[in-house]
Structure 1
Amino acid sequence: MKQFKLQHLFIGIALASILASCHKDKINPGQDKPTAEERAGLYVLDQGNLGKPNSALTYYDYATKKLVPDAFSTANSKGLGNTANDLKIYGSKMYIVVDVSGTVEVVNPKTAKSIKQVLFQTADKKSREPRSIAFYKGNAYISLYDNNVAVLDTATLTVSKYIPVGRNPEQLAVSNGKLYVANGGGLSYPDVDKTVSVIDLTSATVTKTLTVGVNPYAVSVDSYGDVFVHAYNIYPAKPTLTIIDSKTDQVKSTADFDGGPFSISGDNAYYIASDGTIKIYNVKTAAISAANLAPAGTTFTNAYAIAVDPLTNEVFVTDAKDFNSNGLIYAFDKTGKNEYSLVTGINPGSIAFVNK
């Protein structure tokens, strides 16, 4: 079963205790960061309808309060493509991963103007289905559904290597100089994968393959080096969360979990629970610290994606509505107060924050 940002499919289940409370030491000491006042705005990647070339990029300018419904099309006089799946900013460039089109659009985040379109296609022009992107020391790492991770030099914007991993890799993240790749295996449903490939980023080779939950799709990392892997599982079995210690590459726990991918800031991991509420999981104490961030009366039709701005601690939640028409994005302050909401395109699935 092909995965397409399916946060809305989480089953209503009880949260199991997943890790005994323990003292954790940060492995990445804080570095100088821009201040909240330097934020220029935010981008929302609208995935569009699966199989249709209607992906878009919504931009909201904090200073002018102006909303640009399709910033990429406006800046480039062409569409973004078919089924955009991931959006991230690294250095002076923004990277947009477009699955069915088989492209990664590299753009200037201040203008949305295209710098280069990198193709991930076969000789007969079929997409290799790029899914997600992560970065480390000047390289971008892009998961491809043909069982590889592409290594893209962010200076030359050329691919230097393909690293074989498991089946149909999804999200990936870096911790302790290693890349953790969730091998979903969705194209061979119900015979899906249940592994994470660990890639040493010095040698660019897989050094270990870990068993996690069935059909893993999301990976995130906290400041202590723990790697969190969310897995869909196969209905009626429950979704799971696996925690990996990146210092030892040992699986610390795998247990049922009632929510979607983490967006982590400090010790707080924000996520959308299966009941549509926004919860906070404390990664240091391994406990839920807030049962519902949003104020009473706030409801989402289909809460779809979540991101926390580490500079302001504002939390942004997208609502895909009926999955066929324009969605919304809601902004909450760190106390959970609803600040504002904006109209997005169809299936708003990723959020990126832009500096001035």
Structure 2
Amino acid sequence: MKTNFKFWLLLAFAAVAFQGCQEDDPIIREEVEVLPPETVTTVQGFYLLNEGNMNMNKASLDYYDYETGSYKRNVYGQANPDATLGLGDVGNDIGIYGSKLYSVINNSNKIEVMDVVTAKRLKVIDVKNCRYITFANGKAYASAYDGEVQLGENSPNGFVAEIDTTSLSITKTVKVGRQPEKMAVVGNKLYVANSGGYSPPNYERTVSVIDLKTFTKIKDIDVAINLHRLEADEDGDLYVSSRGDYYDIPSKLFVIDTKTDRIKKTFDIACSNLTIVGDKAYIIGSEFNYSTFDYIINYNLINVKTETLLTESFLPKAVSDEIKTPYGLAVDPVSLNVFITDAGDYVSPGKLYCIDKNGNTKFTVTTGDIPAHFAFKTKKTIINP
């Protein structure tokens, strides 16, 4: 979920619709739509986490099976009929590690852990205002704001929780900056992007570095204000996005060399979403400005080996013209199919587009509200009961 502008937009919608929501059945029933099947490689399919509107309790989980072509909406409710409140409020991240599927449910202050095959609940881990999750060496790492969902100068520093993926219990926590967002592991270090998004214009501007052996913060790297996305390439370089201040300071993308923990490159482009596959970084640049109340949208590619911005877009014009609110993004690591979502008006079901590596549209399908976060299910199994 994007903070600041979208936070207040969703809160306004929620205030209008809250009473009606309370009267509805919170369990969303499973629906199945048959799409063209994909060639099954090491990738068998993917889960798509729909955020749902804030305070509407409409987070939901979809699954696309490559072999059968079945696109199943609302698989969590079907697998967990006793979960009377459904998946929860605001699905903010998702990840697969070993035999388990982890869904970070931000406004419900929890991480739902499920069986990766059946989507049945295994455990709920309580984490206040949790944001993102990543994995390494038998551990899950979750970033959390550790405060109420509200703007204000008194918001506390956030933290990262270390979770044992066998016992599914929190074993350690470490404080980082205010409103920490995305994370990445490189070697024995965990990098955390701090935003400070609850207290504009007093944004944070650092990436915190955590030593995973001692689970202590060893330094902060000064980058730019209001950091958000953070991804590592195959060489261990980090791509970190700054959202700017939505007025005069524009969004930018920075490259950090993790051997020196210094900035080595700056791209003057917006980056609202980012994924790196092979030697390419795929970037949705959706930049909002309060002065003009306009969005500027681009679909950029960066060659991460040469660290150059390419001239071509990763999305064909016919699709980019159709998408109203570009949001979720993933690229199949084998086929290089691009999956991109449209959140539309944020209060209605969204759309998922599949584009092959040659720019041809393979299919579109209706999703839940605010389709956002992907986790590919593969044949590779990590030893993790």
| TM > 0.5 | yes
Paired residues of 2:4 and 2:198 also in contact (CA < 8 A): no
The superposition leaves residues 55-95 of structure 1 with CA deviations (integer Å, 9 ceiling, x where unpaired) of 00011222222222101111001300011100011111111
Equivalents in 1 of 2:265, 2:112: separation in Å? 37
Query: SS where residue 74 of structure 1 aligns?
Result: helix
TM-superposed deviation, 1:260 = 2.5
TM-superposed deviation, 1:289 = 2.9
Paired residues of 2:51 and 2:370 also in contact (CA < 8 A): yes
Q: How does 1:1-356 map to 2 (within 5 A)?
A: 3=3, 36-77=40-81, 78=83, 79-120=86-127, 128-146=128-146, 147-236=158-247, 237-274=249-286, 275-298=296-319, 299=321, 300-355=323-378
Q: Structure 1's 259 and 65: CA in aligned 2 closer, same or farther, altered over 3 A?
A: same
TM-superposed deviation, 1:345 = 0.4
Paired residues of 1:102 and 1:130 also in contact (CA < 8 A): yes
Paired residues of 1:316 and 1:330 also in contact (CA < 8 A): yes
Q: Structure 1's 306 and 243: CA in aligned 2 closer, same or farther, altered over 3 A?
A: same
Equivalents in 1 of 2:314, 2:176: separation in Å? 37
Query: SS where residue 264 of structure 2 aligns?
Result: strand
Q: Which moved more, 1:252-261 or 1:189-198?
A: 252-261
Paired residues of 1:293 and 1:335 also in contact (CA < 8 A): no
Query: SS where residue 188 of structure 1 aligns?
Result: coil
Equivalents in 2 of 1:337, 1:278: separation in Å? 16
Residue identity matched to 2:371:
P
Q: Structure 1's 255 and 292: CA in aligned 2 closer, same or farther, altered over 3 A?
A: closer
Paired residues of 2:228 and 2:241 also in contact (CA < 8 A): yes
Which residue pairs with 2:149 in the alignment? none
Q: Structure 1's 329 and 84: CA in aligned 2 closer, same or farther, altered over 3 A?
A: same
Equivalents in 2 of 1:240, 1:100: separation in Å? 28
Which residue pairs with 1:21 in the alignment? none
Which residue pairs with 1:14 in the alignment? none
Which residue pairs with 1:25 in the alignment? none
Residue identity matched to 1:118:
I
Q: Structure 1's 225 and 279: CA in aligned 2 closer, same or farther, altered over 3 A?
A: same
Q: Structure 1's 42 and 277: CA in aligned 2 closer, same or farther, altered over 3 A?
A: same
Q: Structure 1's 6 and 287: CA in aligned 2 closer, same or farther, altered over 3 A?
A: farther
Equivalents in 1 of 2:378, 2:118: separation in Å? 12
The superposition leaves residues 316-346 of structure 1 with CA deviations (integer Å, 9 ceiling, x where unpaired) of 1011011110001111111121111111100
Equivalents in 1 of 2:5, 2:217: separation in Å? 26
Query: SS where residue 82 of structure 1 aligns?
Result: coil
TM-superposed deviation, 1:118 = 0.8
Residue identity matched to 2:145:
Y
Equivalents in 2 of 1:5, 1:278: separation in Å? 21
Q: Which moved more, 1:94-103 or 1:181-190?
A: 181-190
Equivalents in 2 of 1:251, 1:285: separation in Å? 16
Residue identity matched to 1:335:
N
Query: SS where residue 88 of structure 1 aligns?
Result: strand
Residue identity matched to 1:70:
N
TM-superposed deviation, 1:305 = 1.5
TM-superposed deviation, 1:290 = 4.8
CA RMSD of aligned residues (A): 2.1
TM-superposed deviation, 1:226 = 0.5
Equivalents in 1 of 2:107, 2:263: separation in Å? 33
TM-superposed deviation, 1:36 = 4.7
Equivalents in 1 of 2:63, 2:40: separation in Å? 18
Residue identity matched to 1:192:
Y
Equivalents in 1 of 2:74, 2:5: separation in Å? 20
Equivalents in 1 of 2:63, 2:2: separation in Å? 29
Query: SS where residue 54 of structure 2 aligns?
Result: coil
Q: Structure 1's 58 and 2: CA in aligned 2 closer, same or farther, altered over 3 A?
A: closer
Equivalents in 2 of 1:338, 1:287: separation in Å? 27
Tell me which of the two structures has the higher relative contact order, counting C-alpha pairs closer than 8 angstroms and 6 or more residues apart.
1
Q: Structure 1's 285 and 140: CA in aligned 2 closer, same or farther, altered over 3 A?
A: same
Number of equivalent positions: 323
Paired residues of 1:2 and 1:187 also in contact (CA < 8 A): no
Residue identity matched to 2:57:
P
TM-superposed deviation, 1:4 = 7.2
**Higher relative helix content:** 2
Unaligned segments of structure 2, at least 5 residues: 10-38, 147-157, 287-295, 380-385
Query: SS where residue 273 of structure 1 aligns?
Result: strand
